[in-house]
Structure 1
């Protein structure tokens, strides 16, 4: 598992998006699907060449999952050729490129890879084709446990806007807890199932003069938003089904920020710093710094993405022994049921509404979501499959601790189900960051009033249940 590129959660988003003429949106949304496309017994495959724009999935271009997938697809469908065109390796630049080209009416790319938080914005701006009119319910059901209603399918809801599905999950990234199995064994400690137990384990390791710190992403960027989303969901014990109305998303997000549960989550992060259980400068950590603290032996615990496992067992890590590295779903707060929540990252496949190769596009999407492509992603590139059957197949997970842990996670979406996430996210993480001490017991903004400030910036009419609001502030 070589170190690889980083995903959506590591990007900061610009607030603006490109707009497309409403006429184009209407034409794309109202087009009638060819009758054979939704009938598995009589499905056309299409022919010709489709253009797929996708950013690199690996740093080493000679070991590229994209080309491996293209080669396998073309072997399965000889009448269709895929022109793989690399996109920028930065999400913002990729978004700018695609927005400019598609809003100008370009018929290519036919298919493009995009971030998990894009669907609502791209749907509103007419940059993506609604796909549920072309692909049957049986197609979308493969992304969750059999029998799961579509409304409860977390992955598909993250792809949806106003009842339409605008993207196909390609592969997933999730947050995990990495921990030093050898250190916990030396101290006779369990792997922490709760955040409170993690604190207890860290203190016990510290008393034995063993590495004990917990590293996480605390800088003022999207990674903090992901860490926060997980902890807030843990404090609440879940998340309500997202709504596609921007006003309702803002109201719900603001209400959750202006709550005792949010204060509990923020106080937990502050205590980790003030009590010396996280690196002193963790409020400046992004993924590389957090990974480095774990890989160099400073930290015994790490909240990070699935790719961090490859770094931990690489030759450059002081650990490098897989037997010493544990990976598990994130903990939750004591009193909550099950494991903690893992925020959804990863990449998805969108169709250009101007594409002239729709039949071939859909054939490509069906194959990419199917077992052959998903097995390639999992077994050759250690990506977490979006296809539920492949994701939970023991033959896939047996020798990969990350994929095994992924079968037990509980996924949570960021509040991106309505347009405007590029505005919403920075409002939250920039404000929250002010309440994180730059070092233990350094001055930082009051957590209660900080949360109230974030909430009122999002929705000035929010009804707060925070104690600082009841007391009149401060």
Structure 2
């Protein structure tokens, strides 16, 4: 209790601009202080970040930012951040958070609330802004967005599928006629499977958790429909058994190497696929039972550590880093989906990135994952339960699995 109280007091002091004693014993007002900062985020695989940081450093020689690259895997990033913040370390200033971590980090007092009026949130895609809000407060600023897309081979597909039935029919015809597998997503037992299952549930008209993460809203009908879609694909072979070991990278490689006719993946897979397959690649929105489906919303938000010693500089840096000019560079130099709405309607950008209109449609129809401080634990249960139901020989009833999953999730929330 004492430690929790200390954390809460630190957050209140930082957000209110009152004096707060940091770990260095300086006793300075961290909310109004300026100076060098660090930016902790996942490994930069495209080498686009440093030039953006260099521009800031050239203009702010007394407030330079240093990049701290964390592991590429989101779970490992979170583990390092949590260990750092639980120790109340001042090493991290700005944190690049997966959108599903907002509630956990806010609830634990690890990040500070931000002033909404300090950022042009009205210029951002509305669903993206929701991922940075918890209990009616802004805890981070959207930096990149993400939504799932259906990749397909234009030399094999005349018209992309809009429903699961059309996807099944097309994959079965293609796999019989060509030496190629059908459809795959991310079906290994990790966060990716939670996302894929959540998308199937949403597309069937359901929802796993309430928006605030306090109630399990998983309806048996929607969950059963979602599971049966995946189970049917594996039983009939148009979802290859090999995909049960796929994360994002494995599914990306399988598609761009010509081993899949269809693949569910994030926008980052578009460039490499086009480089390899050229005009044979196109994307559309995810299919659903009766029409276009619904994606889970991904992306990175920028937050400020409650233990940062230079929170004013951190705030200014986030404002700079999420500006329209830099968001354009996020797309053109990093190939990551920006958060500014107008960039998705820019003719020059659409010519260079033809998937932008589809991606905008997907983001606007996407659902944020539940804002729960216990999201990580809930996700582990979802992924492990669904993975077991998909493992051959598939013998478990989808309805029984859905009922069991709902009971497990309710138990987690009840005991927290």
Q: Same fold (TM over 0.5)?
A: yes
Residue 223 of structure 2 is aligned to residue 265 of structure 1: no
| Equivalent residue pairs, number | 398
Tell me by how many angstroms 1:241 deviates.
6.7
Aligned equivalents of 2:336, 2:32: Cα separation in 1? 27
Q: Which 4+ residue blocks in structure 1 deviate beyond 6 angstroms?
A: 237-241
2:128–2:145: 8 Å Cα contact kept in structure 1?
A: no
**Equivalent position of 2:369 in the other structure:** 414
**Equivalent position of 1:162 in the other structure:** 135
**Equivalent position of 1:68 in the other structure:** 51
Tell me by how many angstroms 1:461 deviates.
12
Q: Which runs of 5+ in 1 are unaligned?
A: 1-18, 35-43, 145-152, 315-319, 463-474
Q: Which runs of 5+ in 2 are unaligned?
A: 18-30
Tell me by how many angstroms 1:301 deviates.
0.5
Aligned equivalents of 2:374, 2:250: Cα separation in 1? 29
1:128–1:352: 8 Å Cα contact kept in structure 2?
A: yes
Superposition RMSD on alpha carbons, in Å? Answer: 2.8
**Equivalent position of 1:3 in the other structure:** none
Counterparts of 1:341-420 in structure 2, within 5 Å, are 341-409=294-362, 410-415=365-370, 417-420=371-374
1:287–1:304: 8 Å Cα contact kept in structure 2?
A: yes
Tell me by how many angstroms 1:325 deviates.
0.5
Q: 1:88 aligns with which of 48, 64, 71?
A: 71
Aligned equivalents of 2:32, 2:61: Cα separation in 1? 10
After TM superposition, the score normalised by the length of structure 2 is 0.87
Distance of aligned partners of 1:259 and 1:204 in 2 relative to their CA distance in 1, 3 Å threshold: same
Aligned equivalents of 2:300, 2:136: Cα separation in 1? 20
After TM superposition, the score normalised by the length of structure 1 is 0.77
Residue 304 of structure 2 is aligned to residue 323 of structure 1: no
Counterparts of 1:106-145 in structure 2, within 5 Å, are 106-131=89-114, 134-136=115-117, 139-144=120-125
Tell me by how many angstroms 1:86 deviates.
2.4
Structure 2 SS opposite 1:341 = coil
**Equivalent position of 1:198 in the other structure:** 167
**Equivalent position of 1:444 in the other structure:** 395
**Equivalent position of 2:407 in the other structure:** 456
Counterparts of 1:2-17 in structure 2, within 5 Å, are none
Tell me by how many angstroms 1:227 deviates.
0.6
**Equivalent position of 1:306 in the other structure:** 267
Residue 151 of structure 2 is aligned to residue 178 of structure 1: yes
Name whichever structure is richer in helix by fraction. 2
2:71–2:77: 8 Å Cα contact kept in structure 1?
A: yes
Tell me by how many angstroms 1:137 deviates.
7.3
Tell me by how many angstroms 1:20 deviates.
5.3
Aligned equivalents of 1:220, 1:32: Cα separation in 2? 39
2:116–2:138: 8 Å Cα contact kept in structure 1?
A: no
Task: For residues 310-367 of structure 1, give each alpha carbon's deviation from its aligned partner in whole angstroms, at most 9, with x where no partner exists.
Answer: 33234xxxxx232101112212221x5xx32222222221101122322221111111
Aligned equivalents of 2:350, 2:62: Cα separation in 1? 34
Residue 211 of structure 2 is aligned to residue 242 of structure 1: yes
**Equivalent position of 1:430 in the other structure:** 384
Aligned equivalents of 1:106, 1:269: Cα separation in 2? 44
2:248–2:265: 8 Å Cα contact kept in structure 1?
A: yes
